[in-house]
Amino acid sequence: GGGGGNPFDRDPAGKPAPAPEAGPAVPGRPSFEDAFKEAEAYERKHRADAAGIMERYHRLMADYPEALGRPEFMKAAERAGKANAGLKDVYRKMRDADPDSLKAAESPEVTRMILVLGKDVGSQDSAVRERAARMIGMLGSGEGVFTLVKAMKKEKQEQTLQAMAAALVSIGGAKATEQVASLRDEKDLGMRALDVLQALTGKNAVDRRLALREIGGFAKAKDEAVAGKAVDFLVGLGPEGAHGLVEALDSNNVETKIKVIAALGATKNPQVAKPLSNFLIGGDVPNTIRCREAAMAAIEGLGEPAVPYLFHGLRNGRTKMYTGFLLHKITGERFSSSRPGDWVDWYKRKHPDWKPGKEEEEGDGKGE
């Protein structure tokens, strides 16, 4: 994909994968060398035609799978990958959307290559598996993600796992972020999956948004080291981490919850008052009290802009008492917490331009 390099991309120090035997020459078909030279000549002559360059190298790879172990084949994969990455970057900049979400995003040649490389990813030879992973990354196809993620669950070689992780970062897009997130609680893969998502946040605006959406779920990882790292990463992003942090409020670990509540308050985004109001429940269970006090401090720090996002808490029988108390502390007004309409009317009078959004409408008082 775009800028920001791939921190996983290291040239493997291991032995090179064995080259497959050259297949028999097909009558009337140019040799692989001649076909490669032809694609190269086109690239030299038409440097601006990224789509044409990519198409020619993809066709070359799909037509000569027997040449897979040849250095020129790797060159073809690299050049096709570079052209593909450039085209995707243009699409992302113009549309602010994931190019892999397009229907029929893949050519038949790429689909064929993924099938061929998918077999190699299952090879007994780790050098062959690693080479296949790197090539799938160069193809840059969202369809290759499924092959890589499935292979990672079986892979035991560190260097090959690194190549697979690097390929997923190269591919990016919604398919990659969603499939990588599915590895969260896989034995020995949770931390690596989180590293891939964090690397994707450094690629481009679209991959960053998609990856941040998934990182919040890692706060609920069974492995506490993974959960803690995800929360710390989101906290370090300030306001931008808010979306992921709201996900992390569901953590089973009270210390994590309290850290997340404070971090949401620190984002200064008044909308976080709504999910935080779910902690304003009565009761004297020590952890309930700790979460409630943390939520009250966080919401109070948001000040009056948080008020409309608290109307939600007035309509929930479990949270209305402390929500009313907090509204009084923030505004100095003394309406009853049992009459949310009085608070809404007061706020409308004070802010005539305000229109109730979905978070303040009647009937949205379910505790979450």
Distance (Å, whole) CA 170 – CA 210:
14
> Which residues of 143-196 form beta strands (DSSP E)?
none
Q: What is 1-220's CATH number, 3.30.450, 1.25.10, 1.10.540, 1.10.260?
A: 1.25.10
Distance (Å, whole) CA 282 – CA 174:
40
Per-residue pLDDT at 368: 35
Tens digits of pLDDT across the chain (368 residues) = 444 556 565 554 555 566 555 555 666 889 999 999 999 999 999 999 999 999 999 999 999 999 999 999 999 999 999 999 988 998 888 888 888 777 656 788 999 999 999 999 999 999 999 999 999 999 999 999 999 999 999 999 999 999 999 999 999 999 999 999 999 999 899 999 999 999 999 999 999 999 998 999 998 899 989 998 999 999 898 888 888 899 889 888 898 899 899 999 998 899 999 999 999 999 999 999 999 999 999 999 999 999 999 999 999 999 999 999 999 999 999 999 999 999 999 999 999 999 887 555 443 333 33
Per-residue pLDDT at 10: 52
Contact status, residue 149 vs residue 179, Cβ threshold 8 Å: yes
Residue with tokens 């009313």: 324
List where CATH 1.25.10 sits in the chain.
1-220
Per-residue pLDDT at 180: 98
Angle at the Cα of 288 from the Cα atoms of 287 and 294, rounded to 5 degrees = 90
Per-residue pLDDT at 220: 87
Contact status, residue 339 vs residue 326, Cβ threshold 8 Å: no
